[in-house]
Amino acid sequence: MLAPDLKSILSLIRFRNLVIGSATVLTGSYVTIQVPWNNDLILNVILQMISVSCFMAAGNILNDIMDIEIDRISHPLRSLPSKKVSIKQAWYLVIIFSIISILSASYGVYILNKIGLEWIPLAIIWIVSFTLMISYEIGPKTKKYGYLGNLIIGGMLGLVIIYGGASVGKYNYSVTLCIALMATFIGISREIIKDVHDLEGDLKWGRRTFPILIGVHNSRKLAYIFALLGVISIMLPFIMNWGNLEYWMIMFQGPTMYVLLCLNGPMSTGNDKKAIKSLLISMVLGLIGFFLLNILLPYIN
């Protein structure tokens, strides 16, 4: 069989999401770091950006392999249902990306241990994330219980932020945890709306998602509640003055909060594609806001 073209592979691994995942690690590390930057820490952040990107790529491909029959209905133009990439080729890619992720994370553990910073959190987060991915896709297939799968995927998005902090030796910084909560709630909201969009395929294959259990309209309401929880998570560090943040600095999160609060429109009218896109945009804007704020913070205070 011919090798798949680059466009099909980039579509299969969701390249745009991998870029966001890498940026998430960078933001988590930059917001969290409590010691001066040095070459070892810079190298480790780069390695963990690679590790997370490859982890996500493997997970996205594995998801498409497991969901190929559902995608024939809901997403027939994707790389696997359209046969632009074969199942065998997809499995090879899962193995390759997984190995790169493991090696990058392992060398990161070595670097942190060498320079005397905490390395155990980095290893634990990677192992927990890997376990969640396997349990989600292969066994016991928690994705069948869509409501549980939504929580797992959202939680893993939050873990990426904390993983970024762990890459510079600190995982429990208050501001970082709030950003992780934001990503988790926005991720859960987005997964619920994606289940609304994929309702037909999920019904056929017996998945128990929120839209199937409580209905489409109630699911959209629930998704909006999680989006509002994301807004609250963003506000917390500024209200509580954590990390030398002051209340007026919340303006850096103005665009994010605006996008999230405006979701009521597309969600109430059933414009699920717009809602899914807006939720992703809001998370990216949130990361950019915290990143820029931390660059400017030494000059503001």
Mean pLDDT on 245-267? 92
**Predicted confidence (pLDDT) per residue in 18-70, tens digit:** 999 999 999 999 999 988 999 999 999 999 999 999 999 999 999 899 888 87
Cis peptide before 140 (omega within 30 of 0): yes
For 1-123, the fitting CATH number among 1.10.3470, 1.10.1200, 1.10.260, 1.10.357 is 1.10.357
Q: Does the pLDDT value for residue 2 go beyond 70?
A: no
Question: How many residues are there in the chain?
Answer: 301
Fold for 173-301, please state it: Four Helix Bundle (Hemerythrin (Met), subunit A) (1.20.120)
- pLDDT of residue 202 exceeding 80, the answer is no
1 has a pLDDT exceeding 70:
no
The domain segmentation of the chain, as residue ranges, is 1-123, 173-301
Given this model, what pLDDT does residue 274 score?
A: 93
